[in-house]
């Protein structure tokens, strides 16, 4: 999975520029990996804010149901959001997620 290093939007593997911000992609983009999925985008946004404050770039991808119908709350059954972080920051990111969300 390839992401823009500037705005973190998903980019097709063969694209050299971001379709959103038009920034040039890196020759060797950091590999982004998923950390534990969360029950909604709302939870993912909270974790993302803390990760970014720690200097960890991340993006959120929601499931089809959430993205197609604009579901943002945490009441829809079966919805989830996944946070992607650089592979070399995975352990640190998972620790942050665990500290924040071990109760859910």
Q: What is the DSSP string of 39-69?
A: SSHHHHHHHHHHHHHTT---EEEE-HHHHHH
pLDDT per position as a tens digit, 37-71: 898 888 999 999 999 999 998 888 887 554 445 55
Q: Which of 11, 35, 10 lies closest to 91 in space, CA to CA?
A: 35
What is the third-level CATH fold of 31-104?
Answer: Alpha-Beta Plaits (3.30.70)
pTM for the full predicted model: 0.66
Confirm if 96 and 54 have CB atoms less than 8 A apart.
yes
Cβ–Cβ under 8 Å, residues 66 and 75: no
Q: How far is CA 14 from CA 20, 25, 86, in A?
A: 15, 10, 20
């Amino acid at each position: 999975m390839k992401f823009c290093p500037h705005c973190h939007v998903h980019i097709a593997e063969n694209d050299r520029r971001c379709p959103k911000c038009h920034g040039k992609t890196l020759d060797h983009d950091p590999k982004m990996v998923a950390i534990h999925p969360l029950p909604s985008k709302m939870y993912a946004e909270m974790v993302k804010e803390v990760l970014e404050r720690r200097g960890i770039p991340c993006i959120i991808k929601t499931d089809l149901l959430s993205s197609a119908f604009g579901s943002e709350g945490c009441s829809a059954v079966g919805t989830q959001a996944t946070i992607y972080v650089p592979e070399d920051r995975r352990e640190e990111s998972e620790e942050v997620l665990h500290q924040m969300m071990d109760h859910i």
